Structure 1
Amino acid sequence: MNIAYWIIAGLLALFYFYAGAMKMFRSRDQLRPMMAWVDRTPLPVVRALGAVEMLGSTGLILPPLTGIAPSLAPAAAIGFVLLQIGAVAVHLAGEDRRIALNLGLIATAAVTIWLATGL
């Protein structure tokens, strides 16, 4: 792994770990100002998404760091691309056109995949 991977994957992991922790531990009322879609989504699904984000962020960092199953890092990044594609669909279905952050996260995860696989 190179320095670029660690910088980009580290920032992506930090973002997803924080966002996942918010979804896991904050109430719907606390999430609503930042995430309008939580009103249209059952709370257990929001909690599950938070858990997936926290596990995925761990998957970006721990496997390459320990050398145990390093192929999990690009798999985690692929998972984040798929997660954000779903997020864009949820935003657009709810007539919420604020998808710039989602598109940026897709691009960042795609770069992480590229760096992790060494293409």
Structure 2
Amino acid sequence: MTNPKRKNSKVLNMALWLFQILLAVIFVWAGTMKLFQPNGLPWPWTKENPELVTISGILDLLAGLGLTLPTLLGVRPKMTIYAAYGIIALMIAASIFHSMRGEGDQIGFNIFILFSALFIAWGRHKKVPAEPKK
């Protein structure tokens, strides 16, 4: 007979990987666009704050890589948790930034990313921690 706790752990691990990969793709894409095609971005704030575009591009790229590579490679997998915490902070800052600009109706995506990062941080810290490779 299969252990239901073990089965739940496998399902949770797959869900965590799904969210890690989804967010990694989003952040690597966003970081790449912000760093290499900043003039083609459709958001008004990017034209007004070119330095912020560069900084957020670097942070996005690091976040995307940090969500997957440490766990995948088994090298300092706790870095995945720290990347998730960084994304949480980034999404809070982005929500505040957009609210202050009167763009509060556009923070739904930021909230989705925030809760996804919370799920990853919780899951990788408490439920299905990745182990370092030996």
Q: TM-score, normalised by structure 1?
A: 0.89
Shift of 1:44: 2.5
Q: Which residue of 2 aligns with 1:107?
A: 115
Distance in 2 between residues matched to 1:56 and 1:27, nearest whole Å:
19
Unaligned runs of 5+ in 1: none
**2:20 aligned with 1:9:** yes
Report the secondary structure of 2:81's partner residue: helix
Give, in whole Å, the separation in 2 of the partners of 1:18 and 1:72: 20
Asked whether 1:39 is paired with 2:50, we answer: no
Give the aligned partner of residue 66 of structure 1: 73
* Alpha-carbon distance, 1:90 to partner: 0.8
Identity within the alignment, % = 30
Q: How many residues align?
A: 115
Tell me whether 1:96 sits opposite 2:103 in the alignment: yes
Q: 1:22 aligns with which of 25, 33, 50?
A: 33
Which of structures 1 and 2 has the larger relative contact order (alpha carbons within 8 angstroms, sep 6+)? 1
| Contact 1:77–1:112, Cα closer than 8 Å, also in 2 | yes
Aligned partners of 1:48, 1:11: CA distance in 2, in Å? Answer: 22
Runs of 4+ residues over 4 Å off in structure 1: none
Q: CA RMSD in A?
A: 1.4
The answer to whether the aligner puts 1:80 opposite 2:91 as a matched pair is no
8 Å contact 1:37–1:91 — kept in the other structure? no
SS of match in other structure, 1:68: coil
User: Would you say the 8 A contact 1:37–1:90 is kept in 2?
Assistant: no
Normalising by structure 2, what TM-score? 0.80
Match of 2:57 among 44, 47, 50: 50
Unaligned runs of 5+ in 2: 1-9, 128-134
